[in-house]
Structure 1
């Protein structure tokens, strides 16, 4: 495993440094076509070698099978090469590499600036590779448009936002100067993408989609079954919400009830952040009082505005974990601010989808005992490979599982907060239906937006952003409710306390659900 991780980190230096591995902070890596194609052959060799590996203990077997699942997923995706289809393959590593180190501040500022300047020097080359590698027959206009939205934030982000995070005035000026060539490279990429004409599709297709579910996620079923699970879950939740809604608006029309609840929202983006911070502390105190999990020593969850570079492509709250290969246990719950160019009405709609009734569920999901608690606790696992590879089918599944678990514990104690909790869940059931239909059937983007706006209580603008995300990240959207259902099923067969179950399964990593079940059964 150590040898495999050394190979993996050398080919993914940004990921390595974000995880906290030493020695990778000064480079973005090789984004040439030669590097991408060579990686496939190396992955095949690792799959062959590790498939024949003897494992002396059950935990060793889980480690090996975790890596094999990753390798099979990568090789399956070789037929769907992101680096030829999507500018995000180049933009996301740049943004993360430049922003996250200054956000987490795990090293002295002079070291952070030196590493950032080294990486800035590579930005023009990475963006040149983007222009060279994008294939007009494979790239989809929707993906290019998303990338263009991010690219337009590049100059401001590198030349103003990142330097503003540097406290020392001299270092700040030095970093801003080094960012100018990178800023010009982003200007060139924007011009290129504005004129780039392409005719590829964002639809993955049922064959590859099902292969990823079975071989990477180890779920034991494919896209058609996942689609039907989503429809069944939606129907069951719809029935329960009809029972709860009268306590909110006197009728069983839960959509109308949610519309009314969304009118009670913070007045500004800044106020939204403040109220989320208060709700995060309340959730933490509740979990501690009920003794539902073991808290890692030194854990802290900051609640901050979302980074400017993700605002054009991510309309919901999200979380940045502490680097698991370090001793840090400080994570960040990012509140979904709008891009600077949004109108007053667009900002109001964003505030409405973060209403006061919805905030408890979202804070539980992102912070306690959702993502922040899980990923802080998981970082204490001594097995390095489990801290490096995790799947959203566990991590997002866990965060949705704990929403339901806290409801069982009485956290959502009013009809309004219970209905909002159920709305968060039915929203995830709708995602299961829509993601599979978009990529494996013939549902149009417009039909998907209508589905999300009527089968869940999303504003039209948020529904539009959500569907764009599903087109760009196939298989990710269903992970939430799929994983929550599977974790509930595993809990039913566990003979022990609720706290010990939580500590055990969440501490085992962010494993594919089949391996998580093995970890619990073998404990």
Structure 2
């Protein structure tokens, strides 16, 4: 999961200048805005000191050598940080700020309150051992070419010193952990061992660092690897007689939804909307399936029920897919085709200078999603964006076939729209160019996921796939997946849905393959709320586009809407809507 952080000092100054002149509201006070701009920079400076991992992940490298030990002192420090800045926010009259600064104010306040709530009420540090994993930041330091390799390796070396203490502190935090999260933590931590046991040594060999220093560095890497192995072994041997249920329950779920999604809906309202959308999609899919039936089954009677009809048609179309060994290559080949289509239709500007690298998903990221985007932070705007693709290597033939039927010829194209162009990759490039640091870096996951889902529909509306009914049927299936993500997440964590009922929902009502459904059950057992972000963001963006059309009338232009929407960074859609419709 990408964390969104704040920019460097020169960029902050630029953002402050740009922000002040953006969308003044009645009653704004220039002195208040000047003061708030200065406060934002103070907040950013303090944030980096408090969260060095977060800083590194967005390219601010002053604290690369710092690894915070997650003990009680660190928790108290985090609480003090949140209270200090919540007190600072009270000095400002939000109504005296420009529209843009008002949004920043709400984003900072939400971030601080969410952090405090997480420590005092959610307490996931006690029951989610996967919170404790140092691999990602070490891999970033090793792999990203932001400064000379020798400098990065020395930061890496100093940072490793706290790894044994880090994992000892983690063990003391954990109480009655969730069984599923305990297994995930062990697997992901072991998945990162190669960073210390192989990759670090390989990198050292490329340098002129003196032999004695190399020996010391390798010895510390060996100690770090042992600490990781010991943590994984400790988790596997842990006698957990009263494990916490992975389900959050309604009270915690509603609160987490409010902080994480920052929606204009409540969790229950979104669930109700998803149920209604599912019924609508079933009607559309049944209609297309009836149209296609004669083409594929000219001599067979049509199934008696709509769900049987849809399922039969989807199963028939799903056999068209790539071979397991060609999965990543097929993704790489489709990216230029998406770029060409967007340029031809003039849907939005694409920056050709920002690299997108398709790669095999690193082992330390595995176990949650089969495809994802890792984007550079605004301090490192020229850095690579990685399209992480889950590998099918070593999968049983039957399981691989099930997975490939899910990501068939049609769905694979939609997946690439969603993850890459013009979905996540494109949106995150725009976010790094936003004049508002806060909006870009305290990024709202529902806006980010919602944009990716919206672009799928937007591309098909403009003729992608030649308006083939097969492509539309598969997109409706894919959109149904988004909808059922919300239904599944809420039903499991709030309504105590069983695994059996969840698999039935996904396979029989959402027409997913068994392998996909099993993977989604695993995902909902190790995450919460995030699965609702797709449908929430999509619905809010579609609603905004309709309202913006009405506002603009004859002057409405899709490209203008898309680019204007993206210009606000990764802010919650409800705030973008206020600014675009004002």
Corresponding position: 1:73 with 2:114: yes
Corresponding position: 1:406 with 2:463: no
Change (3 A) 1:182 1:447: farther
Name the stretch that deviates more: 384-393 or 478-487.
Answer: 384-393
> 1:283-302, aligned counterparts within 5 Å?
283-296=338-351, 298-302=353-357
Change (3 A) 1:355 1:72: same
Corresponding position: 1:322 with 2:376: yes
Q: For residues 179-235 of structure 1, what are the alpha-carbon distances to aligned partners after superposition, in whole Å with 9 as ceiling and x for unaligned? A: 211111122112111111332122212223223333553323322212211111111
Contact 2:129 2:185 in 1 (8 A): yes
**In the alignment, which residue of structure 2 is the partner of 1:506?**
566
**In the alignment, which residue of structure 2 is the partner of 1:425?**
479
Name the stretch that deviates more: 319-328 or 32-41.
Answer: 32-41
**In the alignment, which residue of structure 2 is the partner of 1:350?**
403
> 1:335-484, aligned counterparts within 5 Å?
335-338=389-392, 342-413=395-466, 414-484=468-538
Contact 1:370 1:398 in 2 (8 A): yes
> 1:186-201, aligned counterparts within 5 Å?
186-198=228-240, 199-201=243-245
Separation of aligned partners in 2, 1:273 and 1:146: 25
Corresponding position: 1:212 with 2:272: no
Change (3 A) 1:465 1:277: same
Change (3 A) 1:211 1:190: closer
Name the stretch that deviates more: 71-80 or 404-413.
Answer: 71-80
- Unaligned runs of at least 5 residues, structure 1: none
Indicate the RMSD between aligned Cα atoms, in angstroms: 2.4
Separation of aligned partners in 1, 2:345 and 2:244: 52
Contact 1:325 1:384 in 2 (8 A): no
Separation of aligned partners in 2, 1:219 and 1:70: 14
Between Structure 1 and Structure 2, whose CA radius of gyration is higher?
A: 2
> 1:259-298, aligned counterparts within 5 Å?
259-269=315-325, 271-296=326-351, 298=353
Q: TM-score, normalised by structure 2?
A: 0.83
Change (3 A) 1:265 1:216: closer
Name the stretch that deviates more: 189-198 or 98-107.
Answer: 98-107
Separation of aligned partners in 1, 2:452 and 2:201: 34
| Offset at residue 64 of structure 1 (A) | 0.8
Change (3 A) 1:394 1:408: same
> 1:10-409, aligned counterparts within 5 Å?
10-54=49-93, 55-78=96-119, 79-91=121-133, 94-136=134-176, 139-161=177-199, 163=201, 168=206, 178-198=220-240, 199-246=243-290, 247=292, 249-250=296-297, 253-269=309-325, 271-296=326-351, 298-311=353-366, 313-328=367-382, 330-338=384-392, 342-409=395-462
Separation of aligned partners in 2, 1:363 and 1:164: 33
Name the stretch that deviates more: 68-77 or 13-22.
Answer: 68-77
Separation of aligned partners in 2, 1:371 and 1:396: 7
Separation of aligned partners in 1, 2:346 and 2:384: 21
Change (3 A) 1:308 1:50: same
Contact 2:436 2:569 in 1 (8 A): no
Name the stretch that deviates more: 442-451 or 230-239.
Answer: 442-451
**In the alignment, which residue of structure 2 is the partner of 1:493?**
547
User: How many pairs does the alignment contain?
Assistant: 515
Q: For residues 473-515 of structure 1, what are the alpha-carbon distances to aligned partners after superposition, in whole Å with 9 as ceiling and x for unaligned? A: 2110011011011001111122242112111211211112221
- Unaligned runs of at least 5 residues, structure 2: 1-39
Separation of aligned partners in 1, 2:480 and 2:508: 11
| Offset at residue 46 of structure 1 (A) | 1.9
Q: For residues 3-50 of structure 1, what are the alpha-carbon distances to aligned partners after superposition, in whole Å with 9 as ceiling and x for unaligned? A: 112222222111111111230211232311221243124313322321
Larger RCO of the pair (alpha carbons < 8 Å, separation 6+): 2
Separation of aligned partners in 1, 2:272 and 2:415: 26
Q: Please state whether the residue corresponding to 2:60 is helix, strand or coil.
A: coil
| Offset at residue 164 of structure 1 (A) | 5.0
Separation of aligned partners in 1, 2:560 and 2:371: 29
Separation of aligned partners in 2, 1:98 and 1:260: 45
20, 24, 48: which is aligned to 1:9? 48
Separation of aligned partners in 1, 2:118 and 2:499: 23
Q: Please state whether the residue corresponding to 2:483 is helix, strand or coil.
A: helix
Separation of aligned partners in 2, 1:434 and 1:469: 11
Contact 1:99 1:162 in 2 (8 A): no
Change (3 A) 1:333 1:37: same
Contact 1:295 1:377 in 2 (8 A): no
Name the stretch that deviates more: 201-210 or 99-108.
Answer: 99-108
| Offset at residue 161 of structure 1 (A) | 4.7
Contact 1:158 1:182 in 2 (8 A): yes
Q: Please state whether the residue corresponding to 2:232 is helix, strand or coil.
A: helix
Separation of aligned partners in 1, 2:479 and 2:577: 23
Q: TM-score, normalised by structure 1?
A: 0.92
Name the stretch that deviates more: 96-105 or 367-376.
Answer: 96-105
Q: For residues 349-398 of structure 1, what are the alpha-carbon distances to aligned partners after superposition, in whole Å with 9 as ceiling and x for unaligned? A: 33333222211101111111101111001111122212221121100000
